[in-house]
Structure 1
Amino acid sequence: MVAQPHYIREYNRLLRNLRKTSASETETFERAVGGGFKATGATQAKLILGLAPQAPFHLIDVGCGSGRLAYALRNEERVSYTGFDILPDLIGHAEKVCERPDWRFDAIYSLALPIEDDAGDMIVFMSVFTHLKPDEIKTYLSEAVRVLKPGGRIVASYFDADDPQHAKLFPPAPVQYLARILGRDVLRVRLKRKDLETWMRDAGVVVEQALTQGPLTQHVMIARKPSTAEQNGQAQL
């Protein structure tokens, strides 16, 4: 039997533990994405809308969880939305609270995205790379470039290995390991900004900026897939 990936195994443990310690299913699902369901979702949505096209656009939300970002965007008519997560129960909650039957929510169990090439104007990884190993992040970046339209953007949040404020969020390794085994936490990862920039460039996108200040606890890196004209120009070189 093939072992489940760590992120599925550990998030299932976490969800079981949250169900034991929460007053309701709603509280369970909101805690499962780190809390701050409405406030953090609204902050993320403001960032996304500031980077998005003014025309109708297709947003792909990887690690959508129980719908924190989706809920904040639910009244935005110009947003066509696809959300993916590894926990079907969270997906079900997101569908329920968003009340957008025209939006797509799907459970996935690997790092492959079940969506066609050149389908999205923007793909976001909010609090996703914070829980994945380097090779897993690289795989997701390759998938992101595949599903983005030329000129589309990747928006990814991460904990910075060189930020002392982020270091405070990480308990000693033995403590974190025990918490993961007991279902009280999942793998947490800090990344060096230069490494993430390199992985994005290797995947084929242009890094536009890294946001290191602001209302989000994590840093955010923004990259763009070259336009068709840029790709053609590079090919001619």
Structure 2
Amino acid sequence: MAQFHFVEDYEKFVSQLVKTYPIDEAMAMAVGGNFEHTGRVETNLLLHAGLCDGMKVFDLGCGSGRLAVSLSKSGINLQYMGTDVVQALLDYAKSKTPSHFEFKRHLDISIPAADASIDIACAFSVFTHLLHYETYLYLEDMRRALKPGGLIVFSFLEFAEKGHWHVFESTVDAQRVKQVGHLNTFIERNAIQAWAEHLKLEVVQFIDGGTPVLDGAPLGQATVILQRPVEGRG
């Protein structure tokens, strides 16, 4: 099977970080830094979306456990599964979270979960590094794995948000000197709305990157909440 571009990109990226920095610093840098702070913001976004006791959460691209660690400290009784393409990140996340939290290396563009088994599927800073058709395929399989009424929460970059321009500008600068690292992808809201329509998902809410959530800090990236309709509605 051919290896997807993002597998090789991130294996190389994480390997270099681990060789260069102390392990905790490397694992934080692997997910963009601000490990604890961003984990809390992501948790607030899930709470805002409707996360509560007894739910099953699927975390696509869980990395070194930024969200998982925060969820484990939240006091919420939940089931959790996180997947990533880099085993070193998963091993670190496992070492920092409760034993019942599950972590799995998964290289296919799919969700390793049964039909209608997940309450919330999330992807923070994941689709920002994928091609659009890859994102669509992930969303398609997330919908399959969602319970009726279940939610998808994911972050994205958009040109309409001025605070995101620096990401595009830095990518352009890197291309000029032939030093582009991993892919940075922008997704406009009309694309997300079109995907949702074709996948029979309802757009619940868009949240601007600069908008604080639950009296906390903003994420920086924009976020969307999608819902699989309950039976009889779609």
1:195 aligns with 2:198: no
- 2:134 alignment partner, SS class: helix
Moved more, 194-203 or 56-65: 194-203
- 1:48 alignment partner, SS class: helix
CA distance in 2 between counterparts of 1:93 and 1:53 reads 25
Quick one: structure 1 residues 54 and 176, their matched pair in 2 at CA, closer, same or farther if it must change by over 3 Å?
A: same
TM-score, normalisation: structure 1: 0.89
CA distance in 1 between counterparts of 2:19 and 2:179 reads 15
The aligned residue for residue 234 of structure 1 is none
The Cα of 1:3 is off from its aligned counterpart by: 4.0
CA distance in 1 between counterparts of 2:187 and 2:43 reads 24
Moved more, 208-217 or 60-69: 208-217
Letter in 1 for 2:32: G
- 1:191 alignment partner, SS class: coil
Query: Alignment RMSD, CA only?
Result: 1.6
The aligned residue for residue 224 of structure 2 is 221
**CA distances 1:85-120 after superposition (whole Å, capped 9, x unpaired):** 11111001111011x111211011111111100010
The Cα of 1:161 is off from its aligned counterpart by: 2.3
Unaligned runs of 5+ in 1: 232-237
- 2:205 alignment partner, SS class: strand
The Cα of 1:174 is off from its aligned counterpart by: 6.0
**CA distances 1:204-232 after superposition (whole Å, capped 9, x unpaired):** 2100110013211100011110001323x
CA distance in 2 between counterparts of 1:3 and 1:229 reads 40
Unaligned runs of 5+ in 2: 212-217
CA distance in 2 between counterparts of 1:42 and 1:176 reads 33
The aligned residue for residue 130 of structure 2 is 132
2:207 corresponds, among 211, 225, 228, to: 211
- 1:160 alignment partner, SS class: coil
- 1:230 alignment partner, SS class: coil
1:155 corresponds, among 153, 162, 176, to: 153
CA distance in 1 between counterparts of 2:154 and 2:51 reads 18
* Aligned residues between the structures: 224
Aligned structure 1 segments of 4 or more residues deviating by more than 3 angstroms: 176-180
Percent identity of equivalent pairs: 30
TM-score, normalisation: structure 2: 0.90
- Give matches, 1:174-189, under 5 Å: 175-176=174-175, 178-180=178-180, 185-189=181-185
- Give matches, 1:64-213, under 5 Å: 64-75=62-73, 76-98=75-97, 100-170=98-168, 171-173=170-172, 175-176=174-175, 178-180=178-180, 185-212=181-208, 213=210
CA distance in 1 between counterparts of 2:51 and 2:220 reads 25
Quick one: structure 1 residues 140 and 207, their matched pair in 2 at CA, closer, same or farther if it must change by over 3 Å?
A: same
8 Å Cα contact 2:52/2:76 also seen in 1: no
The Cα of 1:52 is off from its aligned counterpart by: 2.3
The aligned residue for residue 214 of structure 2 is none
